[in-house]
């Protein structure tokens, strides 16, 4: 059984923990370096990307997590988690940083502010149609051809990737944890 951590500094922690338990993973909320030691994979949840980045730094988790990702830890970033994994944040604050492990650029709130949040069906390669909840979602604006795009979405301005993977690193613009459909989480856990 895979042991999967959920970064529990801020954001949709409970929802990811419940979804991962539902697919049979052994789950742990990760708030400290010690809790990061024994995980096979880590979910970085949605929330507020600058707050999560700040808490990663002040908790001391940032350099340890950076090294673990570099060494092959599987990591799945949803919404704010995707922003933290991106190569470039197009509209980030001047002090905003990322792990720079996904070859893509994102725009925070790229689909609109809170009032523009929406739900839409997303076709995930190898899975089928899943519900996608987009809340102040980051939009992937540029990406490398080396990136494995698992799902696309067209919100009226052309298609953009919304679920991507490169090796051990996954990123998702929407919130799969806010639905009753566990197949995106299962897809990630099955690779561990």
Catalytic residues: 79, 175, 177
* DSSP, residue by residue, the chain: --EEEEE-SSSSHHHHHHHHHHTT-EEEEE-SHHHHTT-SEEEE-SS-HHHHHHHHHHTTHHHHHHHHHHTT-EEEEETHHHHHHEEEETT--TT------EEEEEETTTT-SGGG-EEEEEEETTTEEEEEEESS--EEEEE-TTSEEEEEEESSS-EEEEEEEETTEEEESS-GGGSS--HHHHHHHTT-
């Amino acid at each position: 059984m895979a042991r999967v951590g959920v970064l529990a500094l801020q954001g949709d922690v409970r929802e990811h923990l419940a979804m991962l338990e539902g697919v049979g993973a052994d789950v742990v909320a990760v708030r400290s370096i010690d809790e990061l030691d024994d995980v096979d994979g880590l979910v970085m949840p949605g929330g507020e990307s600058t707050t999560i980045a700040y808490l990663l730094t002040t908790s001391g988790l940032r350099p340890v997590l950076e090294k673990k990702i570099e060494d092959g830890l599987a990591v799945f970033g949803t919404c704010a988690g995707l922003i933290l994994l991106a190569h470039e944040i197009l509209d980030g604050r001047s002090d905003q940083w990322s792990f720079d492990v996904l070859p893509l650029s994102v725009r925070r709130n790229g689909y609109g502010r809170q009032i523009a949040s929406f739900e839409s069906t997303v076709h995930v390669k190898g899975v089928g149609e899943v519900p996608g909840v987009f809340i102040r979602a980051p939009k992937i604006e540029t990406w490398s051809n080396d990136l494995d795009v698992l799902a696309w979405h067209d919100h009226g301005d052309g298609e953009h990737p919304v679920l991507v993977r490169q090796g051990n690193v996954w990123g998702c613009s929407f919130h799969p944890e806010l639905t009753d459909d566990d197949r995106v989480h299962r897809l990630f856990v099955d690779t561990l």
